Amino acid sequence: MRHNTTGPVGRRAIPSNRRRIAAQTHARSMHSCYTHILTIQDALFHETVLFFKAACGYKYAFVPTTTNAISSPMGLGSDSEPVPIAFLGEDTHLADSMQFALEYSLRIEDGLAGAYYGNTSFRGEDPDAMHLNQFYHVECELPGHFEDGIIVAERYHPDLTSMLLRNHRDAIAAFAGTTKHIEDFLASLRSSNSKLPRITLDAAIELLKQDKSCWKYAVKGSPRHGPFGGAVWLTEIDHLSVPFYQAFTDPGRKKAKCADLLLGNGEVLGLGERHKCSADVLAALKLHDVPPEAYEWYMGMRDQKDIQTTGWGMGIERFLAWVFQHDDIRDLVAMPRMKGIAFHV
């Protein structure tokens, strides 16, 4: 689906005239695949609202797209660059996640079952096959622990996948050439009591050391294969390699109580339990070498109402890359907003 005329997307040293030509070419060369993308995006949105409202009893949160406390600051464990902007005389950032706003929402109403949203997130690093500067996020936050979050995620993802296969099989097959990957995924869930396999980071590293043949599943350019041959939760990740807000699993503060759902090209959904008290947040900020000033409100929120919460977020384009069996999420955006390309729309 990528056309040679679009140029090297995301490279910084593109002359301005070439950037504009690339953007215009993208807009004029609307492939029929975009029709299928639009259809699936629409179905995904409505199914998401139905799931969280009817099945979970969550409330939709209208969250701001600007923040002074980004969720992936440039400290240890950050895998993204913030996007600073000046807005109405205030120096602030475009939000890379609205998780903090969802945590706040849970403290507005006592007994709230959960809060969710579907919205745009912004990142500043160079785009590539797995990263966009402007992408779409479904995120939720719920009172409870790590396992409570896993339960909701393992209901949502199969519910969404089943609906797409049931109602839009032809659109998926027209783009991907097959629906077998979805059928296999759902069949594996039925055979495992609707539970996805899990492996800790340390165990995964040892597995790959002991069995070199495992690498055959990590086939570059082949989204049919996950790193372990299918969907799997990667758990107990080193805390210094994840954002500071994930809870610790151990008193030594070495591991994070979080999980990445690996599917297709890589992580599709990220989940984690949050620190319950402000002291743990402060300790994590110091561990990750993040200045705490912008997060004083985040710590104070816990002092006012110490709710244990867990949340997760799914990148829509990454999920669609698996659905459509495509290896570059930049091709799944009909109106791209990427560094190095002038915007046509």
DSSP 37-79: HHHHHHHHHHHHHHIIIIIS--EE----SEESS-SS-SSTT--
**Residue 3 counted as domain residue:** no
Residue 256: give the domain boundaries.
17-331
**Residue 344 counted as domain residue:** no
pLDDT of residue 31: 64
Is the pTM higher than 0.85? The answer reads: yes
**Residue 2 counted as domain residue:** no
pLDDT of residue 335: 85
Name the domain count of the chain. 1
CA 169 to CA 6: how far, in whole Å?
30
Helices 33-50, 316-323: axis angle to 10 degrees equals: 120
pLDDT of residue 130: 93
Q: 34-89, pLDDT tens digit by residue?
A: 889 999 999 999 999 999 999 999 999 999 999 988 888 866 666 678 999 999 99
**Residue 62 counted as domain residue:** yes
**Residue 338 counted as domain residue:** no
Give the CATH number of the domain where residue 287 resides.
Answer: 3.30.930.10
CA 127 to CA 146: how far, in whole Å?
31
**Residue 157 counted as domain residue:** yes
- Strand ranges in 55-183 using DSSP code E only, listed in sequence order: 59-60, 66-67, 83-87, 90-94, 115-122, 134-143
* β-pair type (198-200, 232-238): parallel
Residue 137, phi then psi, degrees to nearest 5: -125, 135
End-to-end alpha carbon distance in the chain: 20
pLDDT of residue 213: 57
Q: What angle do CA 279, 272, 69 make, to 5 degrees?
A: 60
In sequence order, which residues have a C-beta less than 8 Å from that of residue 2 and are 6 or more positions away?
Answer: 328, 330, 331
List the chain pLDDT tens, one digit each, 345 residues: 333 223 223 323 333 443 444 444 544 445 678 889 999 999 999 999 999 999 999 999 999 999 988 888 866 666 678 999 999 999 999 999 999 999 999 999 999 999 999 999 999 999 999 999 999 999 999 999 999 999 999 999 999 999 999 999 999 999 999 999 999 999 999 999 999 999 999 998 888 777 665 544 443 444 444 444 579 999 999 999 999 999 999 999 999 999 999 998 899 999 999 999 999 999 999 999 999 999 999 999 999 999 999 999 999 999 999 999 999 999 998 888 999 887 767
Residue 243, phi then psi, degrees to nearest 5: -60, 155
Element housing 219 (H / E) = none
CA 311 to CA 103: how far, in whole Å?
9
Residue 117, phi then psi, degrees to nearest 5: -165, 165
**Residue 59 counted as domain residue:** yes
pLDDT of residue 227: 45
pLDDT of residue 229: 52
Burial class (CB in 10 A: 0-12, 13-18, 19+), 49: middle
**Residue 10 counted as domain residue:** no
CA 328 to CA 317: how far, in whole Å?
9
pLDDT of residue 277: 96
Classify the phi-psi angles of 194: left when phi > 0, otherwise alpha if psi is within -120 to 50, otherwise beta: left
Q: Cα 77 from chain centroid?
A: 16
Shortest CA distance to 82 belongs to which of 290, 256, 333, 311? Answer: 290
